[in-house]
A and B are shown apart, each in its own frame.
Chain A
Amino acid sequence: MMKASKIFLFLFFISCVINVPAQDMSALVQKVKAKLDLVNDYVADGKMKTDVAFIKAPVGKIKIFFKKPNLFKIKRNNGISILPKGGVSVNMSSVLATKDYVALAAGDAMIDGIKTKIVKLLPMNENSEIILTTLYIDEADLLIKKAITTTKDNGTYEMQLYYGNYAAYGLPDKVIFSFDTKDYKMPKGITLEFEDNDKPTEAEKLKARKGRVEIIYSSYIINKGVDNSMFK
């Protein structure tokens, strides 16, 4: 008898987890999306720091361009910019642009002292490049604090977003984008470097880390129109 009631309770719990919160989560995601939809386009100034194990790069000034639904471009002012492949997902609007997903609740978590809901987004389309996106949403302010995206080809990305002056538009002040870097070896013959295993300690130190791109937004110009040519 005890056993049966235990099983029943378990099934009940499961059904609660699956059914009831799932609907809630879709609504929450929609609310977040609605907030983001307030922004039709923006041009932002910022700084970008590329921190990839095997790349030494300077902090560079950048301009970020966005236009609904999913046009997104980072331009370094007169320089070379290094972004993870598929860098378009640095932008949350793009993640949420598609409607064909199932949003599942996966509990709560504290991020930077703020309580967030964990939401798993599963794309309906089987051919989608994104397999799974996990969002950590600050329910009170309708802000995405963290997102983890697993893709078919480009591994898993993690994004942490920090908000400030532009929180009302759902636009972050800082985004830290982490991604996996494959072990990387230069093909011989191209570099013409004489040294064989150069600077091993340095290289090892760098390799221990994940790849990170940090974007600090200093100012946004919102909804003033952006020409499509900027995204080419």
Chain B
Amino acid sequence: MWTLLQIELYKIFRRPRTYIAFVAITALITIVQLGLKVDGKEYAAFVMADLSNTLQIDGKIINGYFVCYVLLQLLLVHVPLLIALIAADMVSGEANMGTLRLLLAKPISRTQFILAKFFASTIYTILLLVWLAILALFLSMWIFGTDDMFLLKNNYAVQIERVDIFWRYAGAFCFAALAMTTVAALGFFLSQFAENSIGPIVATMSVIIFFTILSTMSIPIFNLIKPYLFTTHMVAWKEFFDVKVNSDNETIRGTIQRPDRLINSALILFAHIVFFVGASLYVFKKKDVLS
């Protein structure tokens, strides 16, 4: 199993395609950072426009923590597409290349083969997120410095103390890893059914885009199905950035407003992963390799 995993990782990281995602993320992040560095005040003024009628908010609104939040909001919509590029290719790509029959004629079990491939795509996903964290969080902290975070929610604003933020990002990135692994698992599952890479990649992207649109739209009939879409739960990392308040409306350090939601979403995503991987195993074990 360990050998298989090593081989899968070796294959992933020897392919030029793998690095597209890293380059894309780097480009996106640095562009946003550049924009905020140059025009951050304008952006802050724009975002705060409604609030500044009543309130005067002083301090470094555009700081590293805030920039990271903005970046995560933007990127966690796009990163799934980059993950699909690799995960949805894991099996179909081998079929397409003609190497699948060669691999499966080797003395390795199909179960181990599938699991090794899935873990390899998970590791790729996590590495992508680590890279994202390095650029979006640490680089932003370096460029913009750190300060309290002032975030606008739908109905209210939250100010989180500087010392109370870092662990939230650690949690958010772990949650994002779970969410992105769900995407990887979906892509991986779809990759069982095709003998070319494009089909499953496009299918995975389409599912994610379609579900995300449904998750975002506030139309009553869609609201009914929202809780059943995994894309709705993928954004639950934001729960880390909401704080409980005491009876005096003071924020309480180290708290999360709705940990129940966070746990619920995490469990739902985890269930999706188990389902997709289980289904992949079931399908793959029965599959006749004709490619």
Contact = CB atoms under 8 A, between A and B. Distances in A.
Contacts of A227: none
Given A78-B162, A84-B54, A57 B153 contact: no
Does more than half of chain A's interface fall in helix, strand or loop, or is it mixed?
loop
A85 B154 contact: no
B38 interface: no
Nearest to B46: A190
Interface string B43-79: 0001101111111111111000000000001100000
Contacts of B164: 58
Interface residues on chain B, size class: 35 or more
A184 B51 contact: yes
Contacts of B56: 82-87
B253 interface: yes
B50 A78 contact: no
Contact of A190 (B147, B152, B215): B152
A60 B155 CA distance: 23
A215 to B, nearest CB: 14
Interface residues on chain A, size class: 35 or more
B148 A80 contact: yes
Interface string A184-216: 111100111111111100110010010100000
Nearest to B157: A55
Interface string A61-94: 0000000000000111011111111110000000
A58 B248 contact: no
Nearest to A56: B158
B160 A81 contact: no
Given A80-B57, A184-B50, A58 B155 contact: no
A85 B251 CA distance: 22
Contacts of B94: none
A94 B150 CA distance: 29
Contacts of A193: 153-154, 235, 238
Q: Can you list the 10 inter-chain pairs with the closest CB atoms, starting with the nearest?
A: A80-B59, A54-B156, A57-B159, A203-B155, A58-B251, A51-B249, A80-B148, A79-B148, A56-B158, A192-B73
